[in-house]
Structures are given as structure tokens and as C-alpha cells.
Structure 1
Amino acid sequence: MTVSTAIARLNAADAEFARHLDHLLSWESVSDDAVNQRVLDIIKGVRERGDAALVEYTQRFDGVEASSMADLIIDRARLELALTRISPAQRTALEKAAERVRVYHERQKQDSWQYTEADGTVLGQKVTPLDRAGLYVPGGKASYPSSVLMNAIPAKVAGVTEVVMVVPTPRGEVNELVLAAACIAGVDRVFTIGGAQAVAALAYGTESVPKVDKVVGPGNIYVATAKRHVFGQVGIDMIAGPSEILVVCDGQTDPDWIAMDLFSQAEHDEDAQAILVSPDAEFLDRVAASINKLLPTMERAGIIEKSINGRGALIQVRDMQQAIEVANRIAPEHLELSVADPQAWLPQIRHAGAIFMGRHTSEALGDYCAGPNHVLPTSGTARFSSPLGVYDFQKRSSIIFCSEQGASELGQTASVLARGESLTAHARSAEYRILDQDQGN
């Protein structure tokens, strides 16, 4: 197989740079009409026919011979069996990664709090875990045991009572690593269903699949479209676009390392995006040479080639300050600061899903075992959203307790504002609690 790249070269000094960068970054995750209608039909089928629809769709779309939902349920004993079927090295790696993910996310856990004002009024916040979370995991050849850990462990740390996992097994292909990861992460129930039908089952419930409060986890366009439609019925984590990496380098890192870091995201799929920004034009040339040298050695060379040629870029900037400006403009999912002193530049980074500091910190470590979550905002949404975390599985309720004196004082303020909005019942409700009743007439 012959592979080669013609990765785009951009220069921030060019008058048309902003337009070219916007074109490079543009990504539409919106489903076409055909996909949208098909998903709506599937959701309707699951809502109306429950388990029967799930069995039918699993037979049709996944090629699985199932006569009832009983054939699509994996019990705890089967998860424990998977632990014995993977290699000792794989089990050790899963357990080590799980422990690191758990320790990191324990630090995110929020507790309830209250404070008491001088007049006895108590204000606060009650933090409560979700009752039940649904985890979608891709199945078959595109199987990601790391995603099981990254989605299930924060939920468990948050205190979610029950984590329900759905994972398709196309043509009956069961991934033992995925099941072993589910066992280690403490997943409570597993169903071998996928696609829009699995999302619908989690959102609305069926005779066998319990209704959840939130659906998390990656999937294809049908899964993403279904998540859009069920949002509101349940919570969702995000609508994720293709994977992205942005490397900012001062030109002193081994160009082979940088090329492979770009490949690490490009190999996900043809729409993934890998960009390098550097003030050193000669270094960009060296990385381009490394890309062409190393690409033929890659197992997924065809995918990488299409990704690099279609959405990749090498961007020359004036200096490191401008490199940071470009990084903030892109707001990448993964940002590598492959520079001598990354800590010095960190305060200037405003938008990034995860920031990998220094030459030795490859993005791949974050994907598997560093500890922070690898479910990250894509397509520029790091401007306003955050990595998946324990906080996604906790909800917050405000606490308000008024003493007699506090209710009287607050009531006077509320009365004025409510009457200003012509909401008389609001005003009178507050005024009843005012100690000097003359103010309520």
C-alpha cells in the first residue's frame, strides 16, 4: 500500500490566514435528513414496543441471533470470567489505569455545604448523586475498554447507585477487554445492544432495560443523533465530534515524536484533526519529513493519510506568544505544550479540553492511564465546556431556611421587586412573613 501526505501548510502572517484556519476547523456534526428520520423511527419503535423492538433491531443491525432480551444480557459472572480470559499484563494494565482514574476523580467529588447568617437564616447547597447512569460503549472491532473506565469510574466515585452499560456485539463479537474493564470499574448491568435503539432504551426504559438519568459515552452518528433527540428526557454528556490534537512546539522536540503524536489522533478516523503550531519553519519541514517517513510503518496508515491530508496542518507563527493565541483560537480537545517551560505558558491557555505539559507528556498517556478523564470537548466547545468528571454525575439543590427575623427582612426586599414585576401573589406571600404587618397592607 502506497501512502503519502500533502499536509496543509499555513502561515499566521498571511492576510488570508484567519479564513483558511476557519475552513480547516469547520466541522458539521449535524445528521442528514435520512439519518435523522431513521433515528426518530428507531426511538419511536423502542418507546412503543420495548424489548421486542430491541431484539428486532439488534438482529437487523448487528447481525446477532437473539430470540429474546435474555440473550442480550451479560451477568456479573460473565464479567468476572472476562478477567480470567485476558492476559495477566492486560489485567494489570486495566487495574493500574482504573486506580489512577479513581484517585484523580476522588479529588473532584463535591460535598454539600451550608452557612448561617447573623439572623439565623441558613443558605447552602445539597449535592446528590444521580440514581442511575447509562454508559454507551462502542463494540466489535472499535472497542475501547479505556472508555469504560473513564465513564464508569467517575459515576461510581460520585455515588451513582447503578451504572448500566450498553455495548453492541456485531455478529456476536464480544470484546473480553471491554467486559473485563466493566468488571473492574464496577458496572452493575450490561446489555449487548447498540446504536440509536440502545440510547432510546436507556432514555425511556423497556421491560428489561431500566430508565437512566443521564447517558454518557461515545458512538457513531446514529448514537450522537439519538442523544440529541433524547436530551431533556435524560441528561447527556456531550455531542462529540472527531478527535483532535494541537501540538505547540518550540522546535526543540524530536520531530519523530511530534509526528507520532499527530498520528495518535489521526488514526482514530478520517475526520480526526492533527495540527502542529511552531515559530520554527525549519522544524515544520523536519516534522513533515518524519510524517512521510513514519506513515508507511503504521497499521492504520490509510486512515492517518486521509486525516492528515484532509484536516491536518502545519502552522508557522511569529513567535510562541502567537502560537498560544492560535491555540486559544482553536480551543482544541487535546493540547500538547511541547516546549522547554510549559508552566510559564499555562496561565495564558484559556481554551483546551486537556493540556499535556512538556516534551515527555504524550497525549496517549492521557487516553489510557494518566488519571484525568479522556472524554473531552471537541470542535471548539472547550471554550465553554469541560472534561467529563464526577460533577457530571452529581446534581445540586439549593438550601434556604429563613428564621423569623430573616424572613421579615428578606420579605421587604422581595415585596418591592415582586410588585415591580406586577406579581402580586409573590409580593403578598413574602409580605405575610414581615413582622410589621402594616407593611403588607
Structure 2
Amino acid sequence: MKVLIKQARIISPNAPLNGQTKDILIDNGIIQTISDSITGPADQVIEQQGLCASIGWMDIFSNFGDPGFEYKETLETGAGAAAAGGFTDVMVLPNTNPVVHNKPQVEYIVQKSKGAAVNIHPVGAVTKNTEGKDLAEMYDMHQSGAVAFGDGTNPIQSAGLLLKALQYVKSFDGTVIQVPDDKSIGANGLINEGIISTQLGLPGKPAIAEELLVARDIKLARYAESKLHFTGISSAKSLEYIKRAKESGINITCSVTPYHLFFTDTDMKDYDTNLKVNPPLRTDKDRQALLQAVADGTVDCIASHHFPQNWDNKTCEFEYAKEGMIGLETLFGVLGASAALDIERSVDMLSIAPRKIFGLPIPEIKEGAAACITLFNADEEYIFDASMIRSRSKNSAFIGKKLKGKVIGIVNKDKVELN
């Protein structure tokens, strides 16, 4: 199949063609020609006002629920949501049923997702059944295609177990992912502990639950001389710890969610269950600190924390609602609306940075390379509507919100997916 992309401004930091407007001809998944103007037959022509092209974006923290929770999301619907959000690559969490904690489960995801336009990379569990008790078969999972390790939505509580995991993954230069949350603090908390939780009469979860584990795990990573990635960072104090750790040479990286850059706990006054997430939405002071950390490079990349929940788990009393929000389709628009970065830095954080963290090959936009391209309009503003959602679940707090930066589609694995 021949695909012709017309007059796209190439956004590819550090690449020779960065900032140039070119035609790109792709034949059978390979970039054949990049030129000022290309004429001739093509099976599909993509031409739009304000069109930009970058290497394919990557998300590092999505829950597709397959196997076991297909009523929330399947690998197919998750891949559709990812493509709609501009992602050619997605790392999926092990919190399925059965848990992805051994070689057959990794192979199931790798094989089942081969036909998708999106590359789906399994994250293997650190512990069996993500129970935090016994180490899982990480080496076997790595050999079968797991690109990183973590217990996903279940933070590793035992310092000794996390230390063993950090030491274990060194044998194959692996990375452990942790959502820092000490579950012994604010165990029944529903939202951030503070003025708003008091006003709403809801039990609070203090930021120190996150900060304690960040401080502890930094020390463990330093001792093990291993690689650790924190995701879902929501507290200003956590960012201070991470910045100091990086400055001292510890191999730490971190990511934040789009909803922590956009919302605060004051947005929860209507008890919107779509805003019930973990880590909880913090104060505006924390949000401003996150935006600053994104701008100054303390935060390495943005992670969608795409957690589909079915209608029953969100349309209920706040206390009983499940945590999580879908985020793949809105991530780019939220990043634009938050105005934290210029477009080159945004693209870098969505495409190059995640691959560097997890040691994955970085695609290129050049003749002879395999086409792995995201197409978008960086300046288009729009109101996000439920009809735009391709995920199986609709639990998004961004419905009705004004976003900036619209994804046009992806070209990957000789497939084209357009919105």
C-alpha cells in the first residue's frame, strides 16, 4: 500500500528535517521518498491544513484489562483508543486476570496484539499475582517480550522485595516501574487530604503517603545501582526528592499524568466520580509544581494512566466508585491546553523520552526507515466530546472540556489509522 502524506511539518527534535515542511511517500510500510513535492499515484493521500508529523508517540502506563476484564477494555479497543490519541506504542499493565506474571501471559499479549496498528508492549509483574509476596519470573518474561516490570496499580510495599527486584533486573538492564503509595497511610482515603476533603466530608489521603515511598525507593535504587521509574507523581515534595536524586546521579526517572496537570481537588466539589483517581488530585500548588517540573525537565515523560472503568463502576456513590480515568485519546490535547511546553518539547516527551527510559529503539523519519509516524495539528482547539471516544469505557472527566492540539492519526506497521 502506498501512502502519501502531503505538506507535513516534520517535528523531530535533533533530526536533520526538524521544522521542515515535506511530502512523505510510504510504500509497504517503508518511507520511500521525502521531498518538497511528490506527485504520482498513491492508495491513500493524507492532506490537511496545519498538518504536522513526528515519530510515533509512546505511552508507558495503560491498563487494557485483557485478559479477564474485557468488559472494560480489550487489546483491540485499547489499540483503537491509542491510535486515536496518536500513540503507535503502548506499555500495558499486568493487572489482568490472570495476572501477567509469567512467560505464557506475556506471550499471549505479544501474539494477540500482532495484528494491531499499535505496538503493544507488556509490563511484567514484579511479584506473583501482584500480591507483593514472592518475586515473579522476570527473566523469562523479559525473554518473551516484557519491556519493564512493576505491579502496576499495586505499589510494592515491601522495601526488601523491591530491593531484590531492582537487583534482579540489572542482569538484563531492566527497569522497575513504581506508583509510589504507602498503603498504610490514608488507607481509606478517597481524595486528597486537605480543605476540600473536609468540606466534602470525604476521608482524605495525605501526600505523605506518596512522598514516603518516593524517599524510600530513591535510597533503594541508589543502593542497588539499578533503574527505577516513578509514575503518577502528584506532590511538589516528591518532585523535590526526585530532582535531588537525579542531581546526585541516581538512575531515577519519573512521569506525571495529564489529569494531574489539568485538574485539582477543587474540581471535585460536584463529586464527579470520573475524578476519583489514584494518586488523588492534589492542590493547585502541587499542580503548578508539576507544570514547572514538566517545563524544566525534572519530569521525563507524560503517562496517560489510561484506566477504563465500566458504567456501573462510575455511576454510583462516590465512596463505591472505582478509581481511574481513560486518558489516551485526550493526552495530547490536555498537554496543549496546559501550555506547559512548546511543541518540540511535547513531542520529545511523548516519543523519544519514553523509549530512552525503557531502552527501546527510536524510530526515524528518513528515507529507507520503517514508517512509525504520528500525524497531528498542534494548534487546533476543540471541545472534547463523548462521540470521539474509541475506548470501550467512557470514564473521562475531559468530556466537554476545551483542549488544544488535535491528533489526525498514525501510520505504523503498514497500517493507517485516521480519526
**Normalised by the shorter chain, which TM-score bucket?**
under 0.3
Report the structure number with the largest CA radius of gyration. Answer: 1
| Richer in helix (by share) | 1
| Richer in strand (by share) | 2
Q: TM-score, normalised by structure 2?
A: 0.27
